């Protein structure tokens, strides 16, 4: 079991990724750090707490609030897809407490890096603002982590915000540039890979029907907006962007890797450039095996859930 910190901007696919992570025995998620992205950071933090209250993982991770805006530009959100509240605008979530005001996300990331070093897996599911701020605070400690798994980028495929840029990189290109330049053990899970993992609505519903109850019902409800918007945009289902990054965090063999040198363009483009590789990029995905793991672990029947549930 490896210690992990997940930086996230929940976000419907982030929510599915967190539920997957909490049911994956290979990872011990000791902290969630929230970042402005899909929604403003206060909503991202509320959503992290909502999901913790829904699933009650054990151990329960610390929640640390992070950057409220990108390093050097105004925030672009993705509320059209995720809803104004970031989780499908259901309107009936039980109330949760306000997130703690300290320590902040960068402090928590640096602290985890200092304590765990090479044992730590840092998973970034949103814009890289918090990771860049952690590097600014203590690059030496953050540079010692074992793995940085990032959902983001569009290397040889079109972007999803501009024709050439993927959302997480587009929101904060300055942060992405600093992270790429830091020499971290960076594993990028771009749209090239995540678009191979498009889950049909019926597939999710069939899996949730195996474990009826409040968790399954809530997952089906908040996921519905993503399916609805996706189908309106001509998609065959929901691309499991962030869940695939978590999948790779606990099982890197789920994808084939390519060592690449990337540079970040002014709009967050992830461009191949010449020179020594500065990351490895997920390419072909073992989609059947990934879907099996995802659907098996997202909301297992209560008989197979950890004692905390």
Can 82 be counted among the known catalytic residues? no
- HSE at residue 89, side-chain half, CA atoms within 13 A, is 9
- Closer residue to ligand RIB in complex, CB, 45/141: 45
Residues within the interface to Ca ion (CB under 5 A): 9, 11, 14, 125-126, 242
CA 34 – CA 24 distance, rounded (Å): 20
Q: Which of 155, 225, 182 is closest to 15 using CA atoms?
A: 225
CA 70 – CA 48 distance, rounded (Å): 19
- Candidate residues 7, 30, 111, 166; the one interacting with ligand RIB per rule CB under 6 A: 166
- Closer residue to ligand RIB in complex, CB, 116/186: 186
Contact call for residue 37 and ligand RIB (CB under 6 A): yes
- Candidate residues 45, 47, 129, 168; the one interacting with ligand RIB per rule CB under 6 A: 168
Take residue 145 and report the two structure tokens written for it: 């982590």
Q: Which stretch binds ligand RIB (CB under 6 A): 83-91, 114-122, 138-146, 162-170?
A: 162-170
Taking the CA atoms of residue 66, residue 70, residue 75 and residue 79 in that order, the dihedral angle to the nearest 10 degrees is -50
- Under DSSP, the state recorded for 122 is E
- Under DSSP, the state recorded for 84 is T
Contact call for residue 151 and ligand RIB (CB under 6 A): yes
Q: Which stretch binds ligand RIB (CB under 6 A): 11-19, 20-28, 62-70, 93-101?
A: 11-19
- Closer residue to ligand RIB in complex, CB, 119/224: 224
Whether the CA torsion 187, 286, 270, 127 is positive or negative: it is: negative
- Positions 231 through 260 that interact with ligand RIB (CB under 6 A): 241-242
- Candidate residues 45, 160, 196, 278; the one interacting with ligand RIB per rule CB under 6 A: 160
Take residue 262 and report the two structure tokens written for it: 């990337």
Contact call for residue 190 and ligand RIB (CB under 6 A): no
Q: Which of 249, 81, 229, 250 is closest to 167 using CA atoms?
A: 81
- Candidate residues 3, 6, 7, 11; the one interacting with ligand RIB per rule CB under 6 A: 11
Residue count (the chain): 309
Give the SS3 label for residue 216: helix
Q: How far is the CB of 151 from ligand RIB (least distance, A)?
A: 5
Q: Which stretch binds ligand RIB (CB under 6 A): 161-169, 227-235, 278-286, 300-308?
A: 161-169
Are 125 and 8 in contact by the 8 Å Cβ rule? The answer is yes
Number of H helices, E strands in the chain: 12, 12
Q: 166 is in the binding site of which of Ca ion, ligand RIB, none (Cβ under 5 to 8 A by kind)?
A: ligand RIB
- Of 82, 116, 170, 241, the active-site residue reads 241
Q: How far is the CB of 117 from ligand RIB (least distance, A)?
A: 27
Q: 160 is in the binding site of which of Ca ion, ligand RIB, none (Cβ under 5 to 8 A by kind)?
A: ligand RIB
Q: Which of 233, 235, 206 is closest to 219 using CA atoms?
A: 206
Q: Which of 2, 1, 21 is closest to 10 using CA atoms?
A: 21
- Positions 66 through 105 that interact with ligand RIB (CB under 6 A): 78
Among all residues, which ones are annotated catalytic? 241
Q: Which residues are at the interface with ligand RIB (CB under 6 A)?
A: 9, 11, 13-14, 37-38, 78, 125-126, 151, 160, 166-168, 241-242
């Amino acid at each position: 079991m490896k210690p992990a910190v997940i930086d996230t901007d929940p976000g419907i696919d982030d929510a599915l990724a967190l539920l997957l992570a909490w049911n994956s025995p290979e990872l011990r998620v000791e902290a969630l750090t929230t970042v402005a992205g899909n929604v403003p950071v206060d909503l991202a933090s509320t959503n992290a707490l909502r999901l913790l209250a829904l699933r009650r993982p054990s151990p329960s991770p610390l929640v640390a609030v992070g950057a409220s805006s990108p390093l050097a530009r105004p925030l672009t959100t993705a509320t059209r897809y995720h809803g104004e509240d970031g989780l499908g605008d259901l309107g009936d979530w039980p109330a949760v407490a306000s997130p703690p005001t300290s320590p902040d996300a960068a402090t928590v990331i640096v602290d985890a890096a200092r304590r765990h070093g090479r044992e730590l897996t840092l998973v970034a599911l949103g814009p890289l603002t918090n990771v860049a701020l952690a590097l600014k605070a203590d690059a030496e400690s953050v540079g010692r982590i074992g793995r940085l798994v990032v959902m983001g980028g569009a290397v040889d495929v079109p972007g999803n915000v501009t024709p050439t840029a993927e959302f997480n990189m587009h929101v904060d290109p300055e942060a992405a540039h600093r992270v790429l330049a830091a020499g971290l053990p960076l594993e990028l899970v771009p749209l090239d890979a995540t678009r191979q993992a498009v889950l049909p609505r019926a597939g999710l519903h069939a899996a949730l029907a195996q474990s009826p109850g409040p968790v399954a019902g809530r997952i089906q409800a908040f996921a519905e907006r993503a399916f609805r918007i996706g189908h309106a945009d001509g998609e065959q289902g929901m691309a499991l962007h962030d869940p695939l990054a978590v999948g790779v965090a606990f099982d890197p063999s789920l994808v084939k890797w390519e060592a690449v040198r990337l540079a970040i363009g002014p709009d967050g483009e992830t461009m191949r450039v010449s020179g020594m590789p500065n990351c490895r990029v997920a390419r072909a995905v073992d989609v059947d095996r990934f879907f099996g793991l995802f659907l098996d672990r997202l909301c297992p029947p209560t008989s197979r859930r950890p004692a905390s549930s």
